[in-house]
Amino acid sequence: MILMRRFLATILIGVLLTACATVPDTGRKQLLLIDPSQEMQLGLEAFEKIKQETPISKDPEINALVQRVGKRIAAVAPLPNAQWEFVVFDAPKIANAFCLPGGKVGIYTGILPITRDEAGLATVIGHEVAHAVARHGAERMSQGLLAQIGGEVINVATASKSPQTRQLIQMAYGLGAQLGVMLPYSRTHELEADRLGQLYMARAGYDPRKSIEFWKRFAAWAAKQGKRPPEFLSTHPLGKTRIRQLEKYLPEAEAEYRRAIQQRKP
């Protein structure tokens, strides 16, 4: 039993020492146990499935808008080996968007009344692309794998205790992992995507101040949808939290925007 504990502890330490990475631009350290090629393949397969199951918009004006904005964001996003594709899904009741590993971007038509214009759409696409650049999906998967390893360590360490005690310890560990690690990291990912998305839209030549206007509109829209859980129980930060951060990093984005405008001048 002692040898098993030491073996699992050694694995855990090895994982933590060898799987560290750094997010571009923010410099945040992260744990990544998923191979990039594997992550991309999962993204490509998932996107094909979504396209088969969800109606695709045939509106030429909307599609032209999404392609135009998407390509400008893609041109400045550091996503190696991306196979960029921008698809508009005809779902007026879904105010959402996503970017899967590999550069597969989906925009649901329900988000367009909130984006309103190109800068608003650039805010959304920049935010979603940032999730892919920062490999947030792989990081969440890695955290899940690490939590499983931790659970196994606890399971071995408590083998001599009663079944009831072991069950309580496992439940406490699961709750602690969810509230203390998984949810906070989800909120960290959202705020990081906000910051990176603001930078990308600025580098693409869109006024980053418009990102704050969009998130204010989105917060107002979300408030009308009903009550939401407290922030510590939610995967997304409160509207005022993300707006405060965007205002904090606005000078950095505005400097990028000025450089982009200068470069676009003939």
Alpha helices for 158-238 (secondary structure H): 163-177, 183-203, 209-224
Cα 109 to Cα 10, 96, 171, 219, 224: the distances in Å are 49, 8, 41, 18, 19
**Exposure string for 49-82, b = 16+ CB within 10 A, e = fewer:** ebeeeeeebeeeebbebbeebbebbbebbebeeb
> 3-class DSSP state for residue 34?
coil
Question: Of 45, 85, 128, 190, which residue is the catalytic one?
Answer: 128
CA distance 173 to 183: 14
Which pair of structure tokens corresponds to residue 225?
């949808």
**150 in Cβ contact with 108 (< 8 Å):** no
Q: In the annotation, is 128 catalytic? A: yes
For residue 58, give the DSSP letter.
-
Q: Nearest to residue 211, comparing CAs of 234, 258, 245?
A: 245
Catalytic residue IDs:
128
